[in-house]
Structure 1
Amino acid sequence: MNETQPYDSADYLDTKEAVAEYLSAAIEEGDAALFRTALGVAARACGMTQIAREAGLSRESLYRALSDDGNPSLDTALRVLKAMNIRLFARAGTLADAGQP
């Protein structure tokens, strides 16, 4: 019988560039729940305890905010991104970029 290992995206986010691309892809989807999940995966990949400390949050509150039932504030998300040395930015787009004709 073959044994399988659980898949964890965090195992593949081994550079800051990989983390940034992963989060950018989640943001592009426009789904807040997907972004929250991706932010949690990225934080785990970077070390949840260290990210919590640098963001000025307790590890428990960070886990709670980024859980499936969590709803992190924009302030929390920005603090986590800053702790990971990831910058969020906006750029102008077109209606075609938004999937509209």
Structure 2
Amino acid sequence: MTETRPYDSAEFLDTDEAVAEYLAAAVEEGDAALFSHALGVVARTRGMTQIAREAGLSRESLYRALSPEGNPSLDTAMRVMKALNVRLTTAPAGSGQAVSG
């Protein structure tokens, strides 16, 4: 019998580039809950306490915002992304070309 274990994408988020690609894929899905979940996965890999501190949030409020029931504000999401050393970019829909700002 083959033994399996649950898949955890956090195991593969060991570089800033991997984090950026993971979050970009979540954004491309167009689902705010998925993006919030992805931010939570990445924050967990980097340490919630440290990310909360760098984002200027309490650990409890970060857990709450990134929980399945949470709905982080854009401000919170941007603070967390800055603490994760990634930035949000935009592009015209369907262009495949990101516009950085």
TM-score by length of 1: 0.86
Partner of 1:29 in structure 2?
Answer: 29
Which letter does structure 2 place at the counterpart of 1:42? V
Classify the secondary structure of the residue corresponding to 2:68: coil
What is the RMSD computed on CA atoms of the aligned residues? Answer: 1.7
1:53-74: CA deviation from partner (whole Å, max 9, x where unpaired): 0001111110110000001000
Letter in structure 2 aligned against 1:74: L
Aligned-pair distance for 1:92? 2.0
- 2:12 aligned partner, one-letter code: Y
Count of residue pairs the alignment pairs up: 96
Q: With the length of structure 2 as denominator, give the TM-score of the two structures.
A: 0.86
- Matches of 1:45 and 1:21 in 2, distance apart? 15
Counterpart amino acid of residue 86 in structure 1: V
Q: 2:99: which partner in 1?
A: none
Q: Which amino acid aligns with 2:27?
A: I
User: Unaligned 5+ residue runs, structure 1?
Assistant: none
Hey, what's the Cα distance between the residues in 2 that align with 1:82 and 1:55? Answer: 7
CA offset at residue 9 of structure 1?
1.2
Larger Rg: 1
